[in-house]
Amino acid sequence: MNDTGNTAPSGQSTAPSGPSTAPSGLNAAPVYGLILAGGSSTRMQRDKAALRYLGEPQLDRAFELASRHLTRVFVSVRPGQAADPTRAQHPLIVDSVAGEGPIVGIRSALAAFPSAAWLVMACDLPFLSAVALSQLLRERDAAALATAFMSAHDGLPEPLCAIWEPAAAAALASYQEAGGRCPRKFLIRHAARLLAPADPRALDNVNTPEEYAKALAAIEPAAIEPIVSGSNMQLKIQYYALMREQAGRSEETLETAAATPADLYGELAARHGFTLSRDQLKVAVNSEFSDWSRPLRAGDAVVFIPPVAGG
């Protein structure tokens, strides 16, 4: 085969079978989903998996999106995170190899199901879309070690929204043993199939409170005003019964960017360690029962209502 010079830019793969003609040919491994939620959220200063959009933790949103495309989806966690309520409700793959960073999660999944390929997604991609996942699956090259999008910013591979093939396991192990930690560098060095993303925004990740505020404003238009103005709302929260005991107080006044009672409960549950999940509760705003998605306004008084037991 000689290069005639008119090769399309998409022809970067050396795969023997054309990837776009047989994306999941007879011998291609089944693709499972892996949502990475083991990060330490250092820059965000709170657990990224539990950040909410439209009232839902982003981990749940990512899991639900992946489940629409894949038959089995797991959440990748570090050993100490398996009991965390945001994570524990999903099927988990707990890190089984030593080390740090996303490579450990990817290797642990490849070790848990050695014959599966993994569509690996970071949990902090709030704009990730069905368009992006369909493209990855459709244009997957099962003969490469991985299929990844090229970043719209620098053209480099995006390892945390990519399909990792079973054959990557051994190469990742060697890479890590040699001191490598960066999955992006790994993909640059190895034969990864790279795709130009049809939906470039899908790969924008959210690492800081400022980025979260911007993403929230884009996803939840109603929340724009309080966030863009930079002035978080002040809310009053009153606690009763079990909630009062767990919060260690009967009320507090709070500066928050939470746009809805659902967001607010996520924030406070993490801070106070509430044991009740949101679907066991009702919520009242200004002394009347409220919907969980009602937009909150400055000065609102919020009460979370645990299961009642009068009489």
Q: Decide if residue 287 touches another protein (CB under 8 A).
A: yes
Instruction: Tell me the closest approach of the beta carbon of residue 234 to another protein, in angstroms.
Output: 20
Stretch that binds another protein, among 4-12, 139-147, 195-203, 271-279 (CB under 8 A): 271-279
Q: Decide if residue 40 touches another protein (CB under 8 A).
A: no
Q: Decide if residue 177 touches another protein (CB under 8 A).
A: no
The residue whose two tokens read 């607010």 is 264
Candidates 240, 251, 270, 294; binder of another protein (CB under 8 A) is 240
CA angle 131, 127, 10 (to 5 degrees): 45
Stretch that binds another protein, among 149-157, 186-194, 215-223, 283-291 (CB under 8 A): 283-291
Q: Decide if residue 55 touches another protein (CB under 8 A).
A: no
Candidates 188, 196, 241, 298; binder of another protein (CB under 8 A) is 241
Q: Decide if residue 238 touches another protein (CB under 8 A).
A: yes
Stretch that binds another protein, among 70-78, 124-132, 256-264, 284-292 (CB under 8 A): 284-292
Instruction: Tell me the closest approach of the beta carbon of residue 227 to another protein, in angstroms.
Output: 29
Q: Decide if residue 92 touches another protein (CB under 8 A).
A: no
Question: Among residues 20 and 250, whose Cβ is nearest to another protein?
Answer: 250
Q: Please give the C-alpha separations between residue 185 and each of 52, 164, 175, 181, in angstroms, as whole numbers.
A: 31, 14, 10, 8
236 - beta bridge partners?
A: 253, 301
H/E stretch holding 235 reads strand 233-238
Q: Decide if residue 298 touches another protein (CB under 8 A).
A: no
Instruction: Tell me the closest approach of the beta carbon of residue 301 to another protein, in angstroms.
Output: 9
Q: Decide if residue 306 touches another protein (CB under 8 A).
A: yes
Distance of alpha carbon 81 from alpha carbon 99, whole angstroms: 16
Candidates 273, 277, 298, 299; binder of another protein (CB under 8 A) is 277
Q: Decide if residue 280 touches another protein (CB under 8 A).
A: yes
Instruction: Give the interface size with another protein as a residue count (CB under 8 A).
Output: 21
Burial of 136 (0-12, 13-18, 19+ CB in 10 A): buried
Distance of alpha carbon 159 from alpha carbon 151, whole angstroms: 10
Q: Decide if residue 311 touches another protein (CB under 8 A).
A: yes
First-to-last CA distance in the chain?
Answer: 84
Tokens of 206: 């959210």
Instruction: Tell me the closest approach of the beta carbon of residue 289 to another protein, in angstroms.
Output: 7
DSSP 8-class letter at 188? H
Instruction: Tell me the closest approach of the beta carbon of residue 66 to another protein, in angstroms.
Output: 22
The residue whose two tokens read 């009153």 is 238
CA angle 88, 90, 96 (to 5 degrees): 75
Q: Please give the C-alpha separations between residue 84 and each of 148, 149, 220, 229, 290, in angstroms, as whole numbers.
A: 30, 31, 26, 33, 27
Spell out a b/e string for 22-35, using b for 16 or more CB atoms within 10 Å of the CB, else e.
Answer: bbeeeebbebbbbb
Question: Among residues 128 and 264, whose Cβ is nearest to another protein?
Answer: 264
Q: Decide if residue 303 touches another protein (CB under 8 A).
A: yes
Q: Decide if residue 82 touches another protein (CB under 8 A).
A: no
Residues forming the site for another protein (CB under 8 A): 238, 240-242, 275-277, 279-280, 284, 287-289, 303, 305-311
